[in-house]
């Protein structure tokens, strides 16, 4: 079980780094980078599900680090993947 958690943590980290690389490479978000300013998870989920890559990336960070929610690497990975898909659509 510990190996699975470590593998998921590594995948999450790689996705986060890839998303950051896309951002610094100049890829814009489909929404124009207008993620909600708050860290309200429900608002961010609505925005991410509506196509906001920044909101999805922010959700990944929130779940990865447990900011206001319990740490959850699987949930973080889900949102990082969503963010990567949204960044690539642009």
Query: pLDDT for 8-20, tens place per residue?
Result: 777 777 777 666 6
Query: How many domains are contained in the chain?
Result: 1
- The predicted-structure confidence for 27-39, as pLDDT tens digits, reads as follows 444 444 555 566 7
- The whole-model pTM stands at 0.61
The confidence score (pLDDT) of residue 29 equals: 43
Distance CA(59)–CA(44), nearest Å, equals: 7
Point out the residues of the chain with pLDDT beneath 50.
25-32
Question: In terms of C-beta density within 10 A (0-12 exposed, 13-18 middle, 19 or more buried), how is residue 27 classed?
Answer: middle
The confidence score (pLDDT) of residue 89 equals: 85
Instruction: Give me the domain span that covers residue 76.
Output: 2-89
3-class secondary-structure state, position 10? helix
Query: Rounded to 5 degrees, what angle do the CA atoms 47, 50, 56 make?
Result: 50
């Amino acid at each position: 079980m510990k190996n699975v958690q470590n593998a998921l943590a590594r995948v999450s980290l790689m996705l986060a780094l890839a998303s950051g690389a896309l951002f610094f490479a100049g890829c814009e978000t489909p929404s124009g980078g207008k993620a909600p300013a708050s860290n309200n998870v429900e608002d961010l989920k609505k925005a991410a599900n509506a196509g906001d890559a920044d909101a999805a990336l922010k959700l990944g960070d929130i779940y990865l680090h447990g900011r206001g929610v319990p740490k959850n690497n699987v949930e973080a990975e889900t949102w990082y993947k969503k963010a990567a898909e949204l960044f690539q659509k642009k």
